[in-house]
Structure 1
Amino acid sequence: MTRGHGVMPDLPATAGTARVPGRGRPDLIDRRDLIAALDRASEHRVTMISAPAGSGKTSLLRAWADRPGRDRRIAFLSVRPGQQDAQLFWLALLEAVRGATGATESLPAAPGFDGGAMVDKVLSEITASGGTFYLVIDDLHELGSAEASEQLAALLTALPRGVHAIVATRHDPPVHLHRLRLAGELAEIRAAQLRFSEAETRDLLAASGVALPHDVAGLLHQRAEGWAAGLRLAVLSLAGHPDPERFVAEFSGSHRTVAEYLMAEMLERQPPHVQRLLLRTSLPDRINGELADLLTGATGSERILLELEDANAFVVSLDPERTWFRYHHMFADLLRLELRRTLPEAIPELHRLAARWFAEHSQAVDAVRHLQAAGDWSEAARLLTDHTVSLTLDGQAGSVVALLRAFPACVGEDSPELALVYANADLHQHRLEEARAHLGIAGAYAETTPPDRRSRLRTAIASLDLLLARLRGHFDGVFEQADALPSPAEGRSNTEIALASDLRALALLNLGVAEAWSLRLDDSERHLLEGAALARDIGRPYLEVACRAHLGFASGSRSFALVRQRCEEAVALAARCGWDAAAVIAPAQVSLAGTLICTGEFDRGEQWLDRARHVTRSEGEPGVRLLVHLTSAMLCAARGQHAETLAELTAAEQVQAHMVSRHGLSTRVTAWTIATLARLGTVDRARADLAVLDDVQAAAGEIRTAAAVLHLAEKDPAGARRALRTVLDGTAPVSSFLTPIEARLLDALACRDLGDAQAAGAAVEQALNLAEPDRMILPFVMTGAWELLDALPRNTSHAALVSDILDTVRGDTPDRSAPPVPAEELSPSELRVLRYLPTNLTRPEIAAELSVSLNTVNTHIRRIYAKLGAGDRSSAVHRGRELRLLSNGRS
């Protein structure tokens, strides 16, 4: 089961060289003067066509864009009626731009949305296309998102040279274009300019095969005042009319009166089956043959719709295949008015039929709207509740809010039927206390519903409870909900399976993240892998990226290589989806930064850390924010910036203070805070912070190493060794692979201060043994123990690592961006031997490990040296790391 965006795009969004949706028709007259005016206007950066319904805006755009022999690229977007979601508008606009530039891939929707980043993406893709480019947006008045309108204003004012935008709207949009107007970059076409001239009226009559005397044609133009819709309706009514002169003589009045009169004339002259189709299909915003057959109770509706479009009877196709249609907005309004006048009793049932069809075709927003229009508030609430999580994942949170506002007060915010919908909206907007209250109401309501309904509600409530617990930092609450994890969906309808799968994938994500922040890394890895696989299977790339973004951190107990690999995979997947600058990928960015900082690649680590900082807002997920501050503190400590280190650690503590449960990294924050205070010379404050910890906290390995730093700052090396005893003998619990290395280095410093050089050297050698597999440089830099490396014997088996540590400290780091050697240059057997060279194993010991002869090992090593251009074991290891042939991971 797969899913695309899960929503209908802003149809039409087709684009190409001078081509827009809807076929060019011979009865559209060539309004040369008006098209020339639009050509002149489009020399400005932005052209706004603002005129009431029926003024001919869309027809003008179609005629302007459809001219043959024009070598230009046009991205054409018609905003879908009632568009409330900024993200869907921008995705449709980006798809139109990509269609015009020849790209075919589209981006998926997501719960979160960065409008500024999307504006930048649209601008960059337009700019990269080169040459003259036209961006045409029709029906802009349908855009109901203030957020999207502000972002569109930013786009229009930033269009590069050679790019021109044309926006058509019934009224001036809430898009602030005054800067463009003042700069002379805004051209405006108003209703007066769109009116037909008398000559154009005669051309329209002739193109439609209507013959009128010269004076009668002039009277028709005078009566219609050049109004495009009125003239088109008149031409439709005049075709074959028995007394055209009487018709024109009676043709008068306001636009509304004229339109109603002409529509009645046109409808009366249509065959009964066409009248029935026009009236009974006027309620939906868009129609296709299957839905029209359902609403009319007949067959062959698609053929009639195609014939009506060919006749230019206010019917427009919305896709190149001509399967979806809409009526001209004014025409649809008048048809609905006639339906209310002639068949009022049929309207509720037509809305119910449309709702059923849209629901069966996974278009829940339209289904709920029709149920609301039918007055079926309870059924509308049930359907919206069932789909609220999936709609949010589809990027339709704005539509959900708009649907909520449409419910009457008696079925509003205090209604238990909609409590789950309000809770989901609260979570999306990070209103956590309101979400908690609404989930409580939803839980009580669920217990009063029938068994089949109760199970579905409980599943949805459990999924949102997990999300709430994660956002509050209430990790114990997450584990309490783990037993309510939705089971795999089986034996249900396709719609129910899709909804249940969405909930399960979301629940697995939230459970896995909470387990990661609680350092239950094995459980976290298992649930995140399962969630990623499910999300991929059901076509939910956002949830897959979210799971994979946290997998790097969850892999920290296994190997650095795996952390790095999974972070890079997550970043690549996010980039393919257009989310490389979105908050969803921040966990992978910061985890990748942490691995680079730990291995001494401080500048590269800072680049990834800056990306994570950029997308991590103050109101974002607390677990990620804490990790960002802690990683920032690592970088500052590595550079000896102790004041900045303390500031980042203080920020991390402030994040923890607003979390319900204790983050697994909080012990490290506390320990590093004490150590940083000691290094800054504020030993009294460090001692006070250490004293307030309870026995369990004080026994942690990270706290013991901090106590050792404090003792060293107080010139008490013996006290430092005592503080480290439980870490060194392995009895103290540790939460970081850095801690055992750091403890041995601090022990080495204490031994040096005590005058025991031999013990200091042994402790350093032990630290190098632990650091070697991951090439861990950070502890040597942070503790200052790198100063002890010069005292090591020259024949140390860690010469390559020692060299890298000293290069890092002195700012002379080697270039690690060299491409890897092609795999065929080293055989698999040679690669296996190479990976033993960073260890302190002798050649006979390597032979024993590989179960081969010593001669075989010697032969492989000679070949390795030759292929890598190395003269000894240390340089071979160094070169192997530069070329990324050596694994950085622990086995």
Structure 2
Amino acid sequence: MPGRQGAAPDRSAVVGAADVPGRKRLGLIERRDLVAALEHAADKRVTLISAPAGSGKTSLLRAWAERPVAHRRIAFLSVRPGQRDPQLFWLALLAAVRAAAGAGDAVEPPAAMPGFNAGAMMEKILSEITGSDGGFFLVIDDLHELGSAEAVEQLAALLAGLPPDVHVLLATRQDPPLRLHKLRLAGELAEVRAAQLRFTEAETRELLATSGVALPDRVAGMLHRRTEGWAAGLRLAVLSLTGHPDPEQFVAEFSGSHRTVAEYLIAEMLERQPPHVQRLLLLTSLLDRVNGELADLLTGAAGSERILLDLEDANAFVVSLDPGRSWFRYHHMFADLLRLELRRTCPQAVPELHRLAARWFAEHAQAVDAVRHLQAAGDWTEAARLLADHTVSLTLDGHAATVVALLRSFPDHVGEDSPDLALVHANAALHQYRLDEALAHLGIARSYAATAPADRRARLRMAIAALDLLLARLRGHFDAVSEQADALPSQATGRSTTEVALAGDLRALVLLNLGVSESWSLRLADSERHLSEGAALARGIGRPYLEVACLAHLGFASATHSLARARHQCEKALALAARYGWDTEAVIAPAQAAFAGTLVCTGEFGHAEQWLERARLVTRSEGEPGVRILVRLVSAMLAAARGRHREALAELAAAEEVQARMVGRHGLPARVSTWTAATQARLGMADLAWSTLAGLDGQDTALGEIRTAAAVIRLAERDPAGARRELRPVLDGDAPAHSLLTPVEARLLDALACRALGDDRAAGEAVEHALHLAEPDRLILPFAVTGAWALLETLPQTTSHAALVADILDAVHGNAPAPAGRPAAGPAEELSPSELRVLRYLPTNLTRPEIAAELSVSPNTVNTHIRRIYAKLGAGDRSSAVQRGRELRLLANGRT
């Protein structure tokens, strides 16, 4: 998407075994004993390296990882400063694992989304790890930067369930709350502390020699004692001593350790740097990460990238973040001290530096960094405006927790007075299902938008429309949807790349929420149009989450036209979700439930149960009510098809409970009520069934689904004539129907009524008509749930729908039809199309001349085809040919 991919990396640095951060640099020594100790420690399930800043944790991990060891894979992750979004942490970890396992280019890169299923993500990571050969090592550096308690808790669960050949190394400034005591008691935890990381006196001398600094042994020993072997202090001393005119005096004049030493040595080091290098280090120290272009902007000079590369090569506390060495960060302690020096020497420059950085990050689609720098500059109004503009996009990018953290960083008076932040609060509340709070904040934002400056008004209105529609979806307040349709934003043109990107996000989100709301209101033609447009737009702007979300709802929206079309839409959505690793996320639940519904309708009950279970797993109790109702309804349909009417009734009652908590009227509860009434009647609760129908809104009473439910009750009351009167408007086409099932069910109920009245001929005609209506979509459910399948075994079979009859009987007897495209082992020689047509008449009672008449061919031609059919199927008679045809799934129309 234009403007979406900024130049700065947005996630933690992730690399595989072949590309561990950093590279061989000057002034480093091989701490063989320490690396060997870590090698031994890494055999434990978990190794914890816990020590203060500057202790050499990252250098130790780098040295260990660079050792050539056969059959070892290392996934390396450095947690980015201030990482608060658990999803982004886990996605970065998954990317690191895939890179180490060699699967990075073979699969779609992991993508962020508004929701997050941590359990599924951990299973995915473990699956990737266990699928690789040899020992697997997962290294997480700077774990103290992980500011999400949720992510830490999830990491603890991952550590508790590691496979035997997987080892984890954690580097942190303080012990994390990971419940490691159990591993410690079990002897599965190795610990490396600050004392073990300290340089020995011998290592200190080696470091000096490697760096070209010549000191007498007495002075080198003094340096070791003064620094107490602290790695960062020694490195700073070496940098200061290089080229110093009086090294002995330098060592003699400073004392103390850690911060005191660091402050002294950093001043020494800075003073020895050329002025332009000092300026670059100080002015860019307030950045978490820097590249050449950004450094040039802040310093007002060119050539910054070359300086950063040279500093990294000189081991001057500068580390590259990417293989191309275009982005860098300073050692955390080094950056802290540089910032102190910047505030001491030129405090007046700090706000303007933050503003310059904010402008650069905003122009490069890095809104989080831009907002943070505006906040640091004290530009609260501009920070609020920028956060409001980007809040929807940031949420789509998986930064919901970061948005909340940014909100909390505003002073109280800004939070109260800023109408921009009302929009941000509303968005955050919606994604935490605090719907009343979201409604109140949207009211404030709407009032502000009416009087906002012209250049902001359109964007605010788009954002408010998107969130209004989402609120309507979650509250079930669909009466307001048609009012929002007029606010549908147009495509943005003629503005900046970032503005076009933001407008595209908002328009796609509006189309999604509008289409879903229309779907649940049963305005299905409008829904299909808006969801299709939303999916196309999302695909064009690089928003796979929105594309999957639109496609996931299209299956239900298109089901009234064609079951095959609905199934195709569901399969398309499911395939795209699987491609992005979202097959266990709530976003795909509508497609899973709708797909299960199509399978129930076609009698593939076992297959339907599998998909329905997936939908149940990803449908949370606080999730979207429309999806939860759909899952319950499909579950009830499946139970009813299997004759488990009490189970079906329980599912329908659960669906009604969801509806009762909704503000408005959902389109599905009318179907729920008709299924409830019919199920109650089948359980002998006729009076209760009538009460259920009586509770429906007046506008529903003319629906075909109501008339068929009433007919079921009449039949349960042994009133077949009354049932036929109820069905007459449906049979005549005067009662509108929302479902493809209704016309078929009405014919079957009419057949049952005719049979009860003793009119077998009329019953047969009604069954034949039902088969004709069911044939295009292979609708089996109405035959199963009404019990009319029994008529297929008792009435004379003169039907031309023999294949469908076979499938119906297979389904109700427990032999579910095989899914299309999965035939059993075929005959020795394939049947020709003409032979297949003849074969499909063999299950009927038609004679050979009658089959010839149906096909408009001569009886001799039919005889020839039958002989060839017998030979190819290895059958000796008509009955065995039919049986073999069923086994091979050759009887269904359209199959070969």
TM-score over 0.5 for the alignment? yes
Residue 15 (structure 1) aligns with? 16
Amino acid of the structure 1 residue aligned with 2:74: I
Whether the 8 Å contact between 2:670 and 2:696 is mirrored in structure 1 is no
Of 502, 507, 520, which residue of structure 2 is paired with 1:504?
A: 507
Residue 162 (structure 2) aligns with? 159
Q: 1:504 to 1:598 in 2, by over 3 A?
A: same
Deviates more, 1:535-544 or 1:772-781: 772-781
1:528 positional shift: 1.1
How many residues are aligned here? 881
Amino acid of the structure 1 residue aligned with 2:78: S
1:583 positional shift: 0.6
Q: 1:2 to 1:591 in 2, by over 3 A?
A: farther
Q: 1:629 to 1:127 in 2, by over 3 A?
A: same
Residue 339 (structure 2) aligns with? 336
Q: 1:861 to 1:769 in 2, by over 3 A?
A: farther
Of 471, 475, 486, which residue of structure 1 is paired with 2:478?
A: 475
1:68 positional shift: 3.8
Of 806, 809, 826, which residue of structure 1 is paired with 2:809?
A: 806
Residue 530, structure 1, aligned to residue 537, structure 2: no
SS of 2:140's equivalent? strand
Amino acid of the structure 2 residue aligned with 1:21: P
1:812 positional shift: 3.1
SS of 2:315's equivalent? coil
SS of 2:47's equivalent? strand
The CA distance in 2 between the partners of 1:789 and 1:15, in whole Å, is: 63
The normalised TM-score by structure 1 is 0.94
Whether the 8 Å contact between 2:21 and 2:320 is mirrored in structure 1 is yes
Residue 391 (structure 1) aligns with? 394
1:657 positional shift: 1.3
Q: 1:590 to 1:878 in 2, by over 3 A?
A: farther
Deviates more, 1:174-183 or 1:835-844: 835-844
Deviates more, 1:858-867 or 1:596-605: 858-867
Of 170, 173, 176, which residue of structure 2 is paired with 1:173?
A: 176
The CA distance in 2 between the partners of 1:480 and 1:832, in whole Å, is: 54
Residue 33 (structure 2) aligns with? 33
Amino acid of the structure 2 residue aligned with 1:72: R
Residue 599 (structure 1) aligns with? 602
Q: 1:832 to 1:554 in 2, by over 3 A?
A: farther
Q: Show CA shifts across 1:114-163 (max 9, x none).
A: 11111111111001113111100000000001111011111112111111
SS of 1:567's equivalent? helix
Q: 1:293 to 1:779 in 2, by over 3 A?
A: same
Residue 688, structure 1, aligned to residue 691, structure 2: yes
Whether the 8 Å contact between 2:392 and 2:427 is mirrored in structure 1 is yes
1:794 positional shift: 3.2
Whether the 8 Å contact between 1:3 and 1:539 is mirrored in structure 2 is no
Whether the 8 Å contact between 1:772 and 1:839 is mirrored in structure 2 is no
1:208 positional shift: 0.5
Residue 303, structure 1, aligned to residue 310, structure 2: no
Amino acid of the structure 2 residue aligned with 1:20: V
Q: 1:20 to 1:230 in 2, by over 3 A?
A: same
The CA distance in 1 between the partners of 2:643 and 2:702, in whole Å, is: 27
Residue 426 (structure 2) aligns with? 423
Of 677, 682, 707, which residue of structure 2 is paired with 1:679?
A: 682
Whether the 8 Å contact between 1:466 and 1:510 is mirrored in structure 2 is yes
Q: 1:473 to 1:295 in 2, by over 3 A?
A: same
Amino acid of the structure 2 residue aligned with 1:716: D
Whether the 8 Å contact between 1:819 and 1:883 is mirrored in structure 2 is no
1:533 positional shift: 0.9
Whether the 8 Å contact between 1:35 and 1:64 is mirrored in structure 2 is yes
The CA distance in 2 between the partners of 1:586 and 1:431, in whole Å, is: 21
Residue 769, structure 1, aligned to residue 772, structure 2: yes
1:862 positional shift: 8.6
The CA distance in 1 between the partners of 2:216 and 2:832, in whole Å, is: 93
Residue 192 (structure 1) aligns with? 195
Where structure 1 has 5 or more consecutive residues not aligned to the other structure, the ranges are none
1:176 positional shift: 2.0
Residue 636 (structure 2) aligns with? 633
RMSD after superposition? 2.9
Amino acid of the structure 2 residue aligned with 1:154: A
Q: 1:136 to 1:761 in 2, by over 3 A?
A: same
Q: 1:168 to 1:812 in 2, by over 3 A?
A: same
Q: 1:132 to 1:814 in 2, by over 3 A?
A: same
Residue 548 (structure 2) aligns with? 545
Residue 368 (structure 1) aligns with? 371
Whether the 8 Å contact between 1:4 and 1:108 is mirrored in structure 2 is no
Q: Show CA shifts across 1:745-794 (max 9, x none).
A: 11111122222222222211111111122111111111111121123323
The CA distance in 2 between the partners of 1:875 and 1:530, in whole Å, is: 47
1:469 positional shift: 0.9
Please give the residue correspondences for 1:787-806 in structure 2 after superposition, counting only pairs within 5 Å.
787-806=790-809
The normalised TM-score by structure 2 is 0.93
Deviates more, 1:215-224 or 1:246-255: 246-255
1:222 positional shift: 0.6
Residue 647 (structure 1) aligns with? 650
Residue 82, structure 1, aligned to residue 85, structure 2: no
Q: Show CA shifts across 1:267-298 (max 9, x none).
A: 00110000000000101100000000001000
The CA distance in 1 between the partners of 2:748 and 2:86, in whole Å, is: 54
1:725 positional shift: 1.5
Q: Show CA shifts across 1:617-644 (max 9, x none).
A: 1111111110000000001101111111
The CA distance in 2 between the partners of 1:781 and 1:344, in whole Å, is: 80
The CA distance in 2 between the partners of 1:830 and 1:27, in whole Å, is: 84
The CA distance in 2 between the partners of 1:151 and 1:193, in whole Å, is: 29
The CA distance in 1 between the partners of 2:39 and 2:144, in whole Å, is: 23
Q: 1:71 to 1:755 in 2, by over 3 A?
A: closer
SS of 2:285's equivalent? coil
SS of 2:486's equivalent? helix
Residue 347, structure 1, aligned to residue 350, structure 2: yes
Q: 1:544 to 1:413 in 2, by over 3 A?
A: farther
Residue 446 (structure 2) aligns with? 443
SS of 1:696's equivalent? helix
Deviates more, 1:768-777 or 1:792-801: 792-801
Q: 1:837 to 1:172 in 2, by over 3 A?
A: farther
Residue 466 (structure 2) aligns with? 463
Q: 1:814 to 1:833 in 2, by over 3 A?
A: closer
The CA distance in 1 between the partners of 2:871 and 2:560, in whole Å, is: 34
Of 589, 593, 612, which residue of structure 1 is paired with 2:592?
A: 589
Residue 101 (structure 1) aligns with? 101
Residue 729 (structure 1) aligns with? 732
Deviates more, 1:494-503 or 1:668-677: 668-677
Q: 1:880 to 1:332 in 2, by over 3 A?
A: same
Whether the 8 Å contact between 1:288 and 1:324 is mirrored in structure 2 is yes
Residue 745 (structure 1) aligns with? 748
Q: 1:653 to 1:144 in 2, by over 3 A?
A: same
Whether the 8 Å contact between 2:637 and 2:648 is mirrored in structure 1 is yes
The CA distance in 2 between the partners of 1:76 and 1:632, in whole Å, is: 44
Amino acid of the structure 2 residue aligned with 1:51: A
SS of 2:329's equivalent? strand
SS of 1:412's equivalent? helix
The CA distance in 2 between the partners of 1:595 and 1:557, in whole Å, is: 11
1:467 positional shift: 1.1
Whether the 8 Å contact between 1:384 and 1:421 is mirrored in structure 2 is yes
Q: 1:511 to 1:827 in 2, by over 3 A?
A: farther
1:695 positional shift: 4.3
SS of 2:137's equivalent? strand
Q: 1:587 to 1:214 in 2, by over 3 A?
A: same
The CA distance in 2 between the partners of 1:195 and 1:225, in whole Å, is: 7
Please give the residue correspondences for 1:817-856 in structure 2 after superposition, counting only pairs within 5 Å.
819=822
Amino acid of the structure 2 residue aligned with 1:30: E
The CA distance in 2 between the partners of 1:642 and 1:467, in whole Å, is: 35
The CA distance in 2 between the partners of 1:384 and 1:831, in whole Å, is: 68
1:801 positional shift: 1.6
Whether the 8 Å contact between 2:704 and 2:736 is mirrored in structure 1 is yes
The CA distance in 2 between the partners of 1:884 and 1:563, in whole Å, is: 24
Whether the 8 Å contact between 1:24 and 1:66 is mirrored in structure 2 is no
Whether the 8 Å contact between 1:283 and 1:336 is mirrored in structure 2 is yes
Amino acid of the structure 1 residue aligned with 2:680: L
1:259 positional shift: 0.5
Residue 889 (structure 2) aligns with? 882
1:660 positional shift: 2.4
The CA distance in 1 between the partners of 2:405 and 2:839, in whole Å, is: 60
Residue 315, structure 1, aligned to residue 318, structure 2: yes
SS of 1:662's equivalent? coil
